[in-house]
Amino acid sequence: MRHLEQSQRSGVLAQVNLSFFKGAQNYGPITIGSPGQDFNVIFDTGSADLWIPSVRCLQENIPCQRHNKYDSAYSSTYEPIGKAFNITYESGQVMGYLSKDIITIAGMTVKDQVFAEATHESDIFANSLPDGIMGLGVSTIAASQQPTVFENMVSQKMLPAPVFSFYLSQDLSNGSSSVLTLGGTNPDLYTGNFTFLEVNAPGFWQFRMDRVRLANGAGTFCRHGCEAIADSGTPLIVGPIEETNALNQKLGARPIAVSPGLFRFDCHHTGHLPDVEIILNGQKFPLTSSEYVIKLKSVCLSVFSGMEFASGTISRWILGASFMRSYYTQFDGGTYRVGFAKSKHLSNSQ
């Protein structure tokens, strides 16, 4: 895996204030082109491409028509590429073609950024408030086979260090206090020291997880260690469905019949549930019931969600936004490691 060069850094920290959409998608503003065209994008560490809707998207493609669209004719810095683009996520597919322009994020302008103009999006994107996705994974998994925006910020010496970090607010009704920091970390937003884990899979922010267990001793999962990914683009904590089913059952949650892999709690009995401990590099990262139960009106949803992995693929746990809301997360592209420290939320910082 190619490490990002750390020498001769002269840039400054950049901060992007993030918003929530339905308590799931963490997104923020960017502009593309000269003059800048405004977009909101999901910042996703589980992918490595930037795409936004194109003015040339098909008229009948409802997801595209509902969002802001990039028009290269109005940008003096646009450069055509034209190569076909196709990416498939767990939730849907995006197709289009590649273009090049300047990208401005947090007041910093990235030159010669290749991105995709989407001409077709799966229907699932129709009700998404953000316009597109900015991947913060490593470009070795990029469908475009091009450097990410973050990698270009590093190579263009815009940042003091090849590091970015997330602070996600626990207030799902108001995500304006969530922050993406580019170039380092913000000590005001976490407490204590980081626990670091070496990345062990090219392209993904993947590392070894020791185990998952109930603090009351009622159950242990990922018993012999397993692979895990820190993924800001996944709202829940996802694991192999047989393990998360067993975990939820030990907690007294009931399956949601219409949504395999999802469980719900009786909202009147969540106050006495045990902590769930995620063990990383020998350190405990506990989640209390207030952190792993999401209250949505009259429904109390478990953040532990199950997924069936295809035969021949590696079963992974995904530590998504539900974990990252409790633990400030640092992604280091210089040494390729992920670090976690306890988030300093307003409720526990005074």
Q: What is the pTM (predicted TM-score) of this model?
A: 0.93
Residues with Cβ within 8 Å of residue 241, at least 6 apart in sequence: 260, 261, 306, 307, 308
Q: Which whole number is the average pLDDT over 135-139? A: 95
In the predicted model, what is the mean pLDDT of residues 289-295? 95
Find tokens 């070496």 and name the residue. Answer: 198
Residue 49 is a catalytic residue: no
Task: Please determine, for residue 249, whether its predicted confidence score (pLDDT) is greater than 90.
Answer: yes
Q: Are 138 and 150 in contact (CB under 8 A)?
A: no
Question: 231 catalytic, yes or no?
Answer: yes
| Strand duo 226-230 + 316-319: pairing | parallel
Mean confidence (pLDDT) of the chain: 92
Residues of the chain with CATH 2.40.70.10: 14-159, 187-348
Confidence of residue 59 (pLDDT cuts 50, 70, 90): confident
pLDDT for 24 equals: 58
- Which tokens go with 50? 């930037």
pLDDT digits (tens, 9 = 90+) for 192-219: 999 999 999 888 999 999 999 999 999 9
User: Averaged over 243-262, what is the pLDDT?
Assistant: 95
DSSP characters over 281-330: TTEEEEE-HHHHEEEETTEEEESEEEEPPPTTSPPEEEE-HHHHTTEEEE
DSSP state of 70: B
Q: What percent of the chain has pLDDT over 70?
A: 92
SS3 assignment, position 72: helix
Per-residue confidence (pLDDT) for residue 349, from 0 to 100: 40
Residue 165's contacts (CB-CB under 8 Å, 6 or more residues apart) are 180, 181, 184, 185, 186, 328, 329, 330, 331
Which amino acid would we find at residue 30? I
What's the confidence (pLDDT) of residue 244? Answer: 97
Return the pLDDT at 346.
Answer: 63
- CA 61 vs. chain centroid, Å, equals 26
- Residue pair 133/46 in contact (Cβ under 8 Å)? The answer is no
* Burial of 89: CB neighbours in 10 Å, binned 0-12, 13-18, 19+: middle
Pull the structure tokens for residue 123.
Answer: 């229907």
**pLDDT bucket at 10, cuts 50 / 70 / 90:** low
Quick one: CA torsion of 208, 310, 333, 111, rounded to 10 degrees?
-170
The pLDDT score that the predictor gives to residue 180 is 97
Superfamily of domain 14-159: Acid Proteases (2.40.70.10)
Is pLDDT at 170 greater than 70 in this prediction? yes
Q: Is the pLDDT of residue 230 over 80?
A: yes
- Joined together, the tokens standing for residue 36 give 């800048």
Q: What DSSP designation does 54 have? A: B
Q: Which residue in the list 49, 131, 210, 231 is annotated as catalytic?
A: 231
Alpha carbon distance 55, 200 (integer Å): 39
d(CA 88, CA 63): 15
Q: Which fold has domain 187-348?
A: Cathepsin D, subunit A; domain 1 (2.40.70)
Across the strands, what pairs with 237? 304, 319
Cα separation, 139 vs 135, in Å, equals 9
83: Cβ contacts below 8 Å, ≥ 6 apart = 97, 98, 144
More confident residue, 282 or 8: 282
Rounded Cα distance, 252 and 264, in Å: 9
pLDDT of 9 strictly over 80: no
What is the rounded average pLDDT of the residues 151-166?
97
Residue 248: its H or E element: helix 241-250
pLDDT over 90 at 6, yes or no:
no
Of 44, 101, 131, 210, catalytic: 44
Average pLDDT of span 112-133: 93
Cα separation, 228 vs 220, whole angstroms:
16
- Please check the confidence at residue 350 and state whether its pLDDT lies above 70: no
Question: How would residue 347 be classed by pLDDT, with cut points 50, 70 and 90?
Answer: low
Work out the average pLDDT over 57-85.
95
How large a percentage of the chain has pLDDT more than 90?
77
Q: Name the pLDDT band for 77 (thresholds 50, 70, 90).
A: very high
